[in-house]
Amino acid sequence: MAKDIPYCPLMSAGSDIDKVCTLESCAWYVPSVKKCAMYMLAYNALLETNARQRAAQQHR
């Protein structure tokens, strides 16, 4: 799928075909940041995991 067309991670889960995001029509869309709430949760979890891994490596 083209990188400029956003896809819905919830509707695409378990499917071989990416489903197009409906943006403002979706309850999970956060207009202030123009991102999906699921994307934001995953991104924040990634940042937190990276920070924990760096902290663990510094304490070795």
The predicted model scores a pTM of 0.65
In a domain, 2, yes or no: no
Instruction: Give per-residue pLDDT as tens, 25-42.
Output: 999 999 999 889 998 999
| Cα Rg of the chain (Å, integer) | 15
Note down the domain range covering 16: 9-58
Measure CA 21 to chain center: 12
In a domain, 42, yes or no: yes
Residue 46, Cβ density class (10 Å: 0-12 exposed, 13-18 middle, ≥19 buried): exposed
Q: Which residues of 13-37 are buried (b: 16+ CB within 10 A; e: fewer)?
A: eeeeeeeebeeeeeebbeeeeebbe
Total tally of structural domains belonging to the chain:
1
Q: Six-digit token pair at 1? A: 């799928």
Q: Which residues of the chain have pLDDT under 70?
A: 1-2
